[in-house]
A = this chain, B = another copy of it.
Amino acid sequence: MPLCTILTIGDEILIGQTVDTNSAWIGQQLNGIGAKVHEIISVSDNADHIKDGLRRAARQSEIVLITGGLGPTKDDITKKTLCDYFEVGEVFHEDIFENLKTIFAKRGREVLDINKKQALLPSNCQVVPNERGTAPGMWFDEAGTIYVSMPGVPHEMKHMVTNYVLPRLAAQFKFPHIIHRNLMLCGIGESSAAKLLDEFENKLPQHIKLAYLPDLGILKLRLSAYEVTTAEGEAEIDALYTEMKAILKEYAYAEEDIKLEELIGKLFLERGKTFALAESCTGGYAGHLVTSIAGSSKYFEGSTVTYSYDMKQTILGVKPETLEQQGAVSEQCVREMLEGLLKISKADYGVSVSGIAGPDGGTPEKPVGTVCFAVGDRNRIVTKTFQFFPRRMENIRISSVTALNLLRKFVLGELE
């Protein structure tokens, strides 16, 4: 398996001004095509330090992916340092300059001398087009190592990797053939899933790996089979995947890598239905997840975030005696919240959620982390109570994802 080193350049990473999210993303992409990230090195905007990093990276890997330091300011010295490292000069690329002028004209800005320098590239590189910004990428093939220098701006870099770098690497290297199968889960944590899958994992053959990829209330399982080329081999993976699905049936929401809020969007668009939310402890985060999807206005009516008792009563018509006798965190309260929501909105379906996000507000009967949900339509309402983590932000996120998952299950007729 060809090894790769990721070299990120920039003082902003070392002083903690920027969290390096690029490396994780690149790691995922490379892993997906069968290349392996051997090491990530983050160095400062210093020529000697960059050259030292390049040398080390080339010694230990066939592929060196470099991000950062390609901007027009004086801090950005990656290009000049690459020239020194390869002992070459710079060449002016007329077509890149023309492209720059077009981009600037569109933004109503003039091309300055400082920008003209962006069309100067090391003479030994091949241009990797940047369709999202002004700094072109550079591809070097020197002494048996591929070096690719890319901008640090995530959306520019990602576009380059997806459209140019991965296809070229795949053409040039012999990566192992990998088949990935994803299973998206909600409502179960990593360790609980691992417990249920204990026996299953123990019998996996050497060439099939299972990865747990948790993300805030969502757990992605990735079953990967290496170098499977026969029909028997594929049948074996199919059988294992089916077995894994059966074990986790209750928690699975998709077999492709898709966010829950995106899947909900597809589901409601397909059915031509709409929904609304009545939130309390989630404070708007459930609505945020839904509306983070472009086009959500086609199926999402809105959310009432009734944080106070008063707003629960005036907007949703929750009864004062319910709040007094059973409290805002009770199945009766979420039921009334949902009933009220379906009165004031035309939405076909609704979910309500109320809980104790913490750190204060817990009681012995209802400790911090207790969350009640109601989901339903104008014919039927189902209520549920869960006990989640006592940490505030985790609780808010898990409660929001759970609300959406209950909605999905209800709409699909899978909720008792």
Task: State how many angstroms separate the Cβ of A302 from the closest Cβ of chain B.
Answer: 4
- Residues facing B in A392-406 (CB within 8 A) are 392-393, 396
User: Is A54 among interface residues, defined by CB-CB distance under 8 A?
Assistant: no
How many angstroms from the CA of A348 to the CA of B27 in the assembled complex?
50
Q: Mark A244-286 against chain B: 1 for CB-CB distance below 8 A, else 0.
A: 0000000000000000000000000000001011010111111
Q: Once the chains bind, are A39 and B43 in contact (CB under 8 Å)? A: yes
Cβ contact of A294, chosen from B36, B279, B288, B392, cutoff 8 A:
B392
Cβ contact of A302, chosen from B16, B25, B311, cutoff 8 A:
B311
How many angstroms from the CA of A357 to the CA of B296 in the assembled complex?
11
Residue of B nearest to A343 (CB): B314
User: Is A15 among interface residues, defined by CB-CB distance under 8 A?
Assistant: yes
Cβ contact of A14, chosen from B18, B25, B38, B212, cutoff 8 A:
B38
How many angstroms from the CA of A314 to the CA of B28 in the assembled complex?
46
- Residues facing B in A1-53 (CB within 8 A) are 13-21, 23-29, 31, 36-44, 49
5 additional contacts (CB under 8 A) given A13-B23, A20-B40 = A276-B311, A283-B288, A285-B291, A301-B308, A301-B311
A sample of 24 cross-chain residue pairs with beta-carbon separation below 8 angstroms, ordered by A number, consists of A14-B39, A14-B40, A16-B25, A16-B31, A17-B28, A17-B213, A279-B284, A282-B291, A283-B287, A283-B291, A284-B288, A284-B291, A285-B288, A287-B305, A287-B307, A291-B307, A291-B396, A292-B393, A294-B359, A297-B308, A304-B305, A304-B315, A314-B345, A315-B344
A contact residues vs B (CB 8 Å cutoff): 13-21, 23-29, 31, 36-44, 49, 56, 211-213, 274, 276-277, 279, 281-288, 290-292, 294-297, 300-308, 310-311, 314-315, 344-346, 357-361, 392-393, 396
